[in-house]
Amino acid sequence: MVIHCTWPTFLLQTLENNLTNLVKRNSELENQMAKLIQICQQVEVNTAMHEAKLVEECDELVEIIRQRKQIIAVKIKESKVMKLRKLAQQMANCRQCLERSGALITQAEHSLKENDHARFLQTARNVAERVAMATASSQVLIPDVNLNEAFDNFALDFSREKKILEGLDYLTAPSPPSIRDELCTASHDTITVHWTSEDEFSVTSYELQYTIYTGQTNFISLYNSVDSWMIVPNIKQNHYTVHGLQSGTRYVFFVKAINQAGSRNSEPARLKTNSQPFKLDPKTAHKKLRLSNDCLTMEKDESSLKKSHTPERFSSTGSYGAAGNVFIDSGCHYWEVLLGASTWYAVGVAYKSAPKNEWSGKNSSSWVLSRCNNNFMVRHNGKEMLVEASHQLRRLGVLLDYDNNSLSFYDAMNSQHLHTFEVSFLLPVAPTFMIWNKSVMILSGLPVPDFVDCPEEHQEGMMTLCRQQESPYMSGLKGCH
């Protein structure tokens, strides 16, 4: 009797799936095993290569020592021959002096023993003169002996070389350097990067790599994928200044430490150039405004009417303003306005194409924060919205983040956010300043303060402010421009 067993379909599918996964896993293990075998083979090859290199290098050192030994031995022998030659000459001179003085002594002693008075008188005078001359010239007759000729001022000291030889070891790639953020400095178009290395003496050179930071958090992927990396090779110091950077822009930096054994990269550092510096443009200033010599301060002056009219100049009765002498089309820039005692002003940005009399937020091409006595408001395209701000506001901070499409205002003294416009900028914008009483002063080219340089909080604030801007604007306030 034949028994037929019918397996449930789901059981067959489960078995097939498990078998497929097992085969796939087995294939992965085989690939892994092949890689391990390949690495083992490479270890054998590399070990043999390094061992051969070790023998070669040591043989060269031994050969250098053997050659130096021969050279120094020859020098010692040559010095010995020269010194003995000098000593032999001195000995010959001494021998001659001894022979002459010995003969003279013998003759003098003979004369002293002469009993014949007449003969003594005949020889004594001559002998006495010769003895006196020999005694007077004894320094000439007796040669000097140079003790240095004894070869005892010569020494062989290889202690330094022995220490070097004792320290022989195989070279490894240097440890990764570390970028010191607290030592790095920046201007509007330069960044000076400082770093340290634990293996400073084994580093042959450094290489600095940088690119504009795009907001990508996976730096390994960024490092491997970006084609626009700038590279500065063969740096010998532990610092370098990069010139020609974009103002108000964040960059990513890597430092690579290099020697003959290889190289290693530092952790990435995000560093930022300062904001674009600018001054008030005298060509744009209204006739009733007086600018300081450094073009950083503007003051309402009814008597100042000597300026000629130009198309660039603010000319409307209600537009007592001036523009900055730059047009910004990228980066993140921060400047401050010292308001002093002024209670009637408007500060913001505008497209160049916007009419000057409407640069106070009266058209779609300008955005401002304005104060009219006790009222603070933001204005764009002729629409206004009240903003809460202290009547003691003395330093107005302006953050133009062109790349992220935002314009923000801050009470800089109290680190308080006042308002943010979300703007899809289409053209370059110029900073704009208007006053109807007193004076204001601008401070530009500043680093972005910590209290506004927080991308996460900034974006959250942007979303909140976007919701705020959906609420109805107020109609224009009477008496304010």
- Mean pLDDT of the 285-301 span: 89
130 sits in which H/E element = helix 117-136
287-303 CB burial, b ≥16 within 10 A, e <16: bbbbbeeebbbbbbeee
More confident residue, 285 or 419: 419
Return the pLDDT at 149.
Answer: 61
108/123 Cα distance (integer angstroms):
9
Share of the chain above pLDDT 70, in %: 82
- 225-282, pLDDT tens digit by residue? 656 789 999 999 999 999 999 888 889 999 999 998 899 999 999 999 999 899 999 9
Q: Where are the beta strands (DSSP E) in 276-428?
A: 289-291, 297-300, 321-323, 332-338, 344-351, 366-372, 375-380, 383-386, 395-401, 406-411, 416-422
Q: How would residue 213 be classed by pLDDT, with cut points 50, 70 and 90?
A: confident
Return the pLDDT at 84.
Answer: 87
233 sits in which H/E element = strand 230-235
289-449 sits in which CATH class? mainly beta
CA 7 to chain centre: 72
Return the pLDDT at 267.
Answer: 92
Instruction: Give me the sign of the Cα torsion angle 379, 384, 385, 390.
Output: positive
More confident residue, 256 or 460: 256
Q: Give yes or no on whether 178-272 and 289-449 have one common fold.
A: no
- 403-415, pLDDT tens digit by residue? 889 999 999 999 9
Return the pLDDT at 7.
Answer: 57
| DSSP-based three-state secondary structure for 103 | helix
Of 294, 355, 365, 275, which Cα lies nearest the Cα of 321?
355
φ/ψ bin of 234: left (φ > 0), alpha (ψ from -120 to 50), beta (otherwise): left
Return the pLDDT at 100.
Answer: 79
| DSSP-based three-state secondary structure for 287 | coil
Return the pLDDT at 17.
Answer: 87
Given a cut of 70, whether residue 453 has pLDDT beyond it is no
Instruction: Give me the sign of the Cα torsion angle 371, 375, 378, 384.
Output: negative
The reported pTM is 0.59
Domain boundaries, the chain: 12-150, 178-272, 289-449
More confident residue, 93 or 237: 237
59 sits in which H/E element = helix 9-112
321/350 Cα distance (integer angstroms):
12
Return the pLDDT at 353.
Answer: 79
Return the pLDDT at 456.
Answer: 38
Return the pLDDT at 164.
Answer: 82
Return the pLDDT at 177.
Answer: 95
Angle between helical axes of 9-112 and 117-136 (0-180°, round to 10): 160
- 21-42, pLDDT tens digit by residue? 999 999 999 999 999 999 999 9
Return the pLDDT at 219.
Answer: 59
CATH architecture of the domain 178-272 equals Sandwich (2.60)
195 within 8 A of 180, measured Cβ to Cβ: yes
More confident residue, 233 or 141: 233
Q: How would residue 301 be classed by pLDDT, with cut points 50, 70 and 90?
A: confident
| DSSP-based three-state secondary structure for 159 | helix
Given a cut of 80, whether residue 326 has pLDDT beyond it is yes
| DSSP-based three-state secondary structure for 33 | helix
List C-alpha distances in Å: 207 to 151, 234, 244, 273.
53, 6, 18, 20
- Supply angle C-alpha 261, 267, 273, rounded to 5: 125
Return the pLDDT at 388.
Answer: 93
- 352-383, pLDDT tens digit by residue? 877 766 677 888 899 999 998 889 999 999 89
- Mean pLDDT of the 451-479 span: 42
